[in-house]
Amino acid sequence: MKRRSFCVALTVVLIAFGMQAEAQVPQQVRVAWVSIARANSESPYLEAFRGGMRELGYTEGKNLIIDKWWGDGSEEKLAQQIDAIVRSQPTVIVAQGGLALHPLMVARVRVPIVFGISAEPVDAKIAESFARPGGTATGDSRVR
């Protein structure tokens, strides 16, 4: 899981701050972590993400804020929170899985979104194609 956490964390940084010639850890990054899981549940993906961000020099409470948004098992509950998520002004949204990603895509959120899903992104209509994904979402798929 370390490789995956590193890749997701790296993607977040690249999207949020662009590919700059001189890599610098920014003053502060606000991440909206969006999950269909129940609040207060232990998420190995969130812990892996935190670990990947630490490896990149981001520390919660210093230069990293992670706002957690839980669906409590319901896409509808996540959909009801989208306006609040956007108003929190995250640098990037990290969607844990397709059920968390779907309401964000339907709402056409303009904040950069990073996802990890088990579906094929083009078939799931998350990306137009692998060559030109379009939109504001990028991520990783277990389908190869």
Domains of the chain as residue ranges with CATH:
2-14+27-64+72-141 (3.40.50.2300)
For 52-108, what is each residue's pLDDT tens digit?
899 888 999 999 999 999 999 999 999 999 999 999 999 999 998 888 988 998 888
Q: 45: helix, coil or strand?
A: helix
Per-residue tokens: 39: 């609040």
What is the C-alpha to C-alpha distance for residues 126 and 138, in angstroms, rounded to an integer?
9
Enter the pTM of the model: 0.78
What is the C-alpha to C-alpha distance for residues 54 and 58, in angstroms, rounded to an integer?
5
Given a contact cutoff of 8 angstroms between Cβ atoms, the answer to whether 18 and 34 are in contact is no
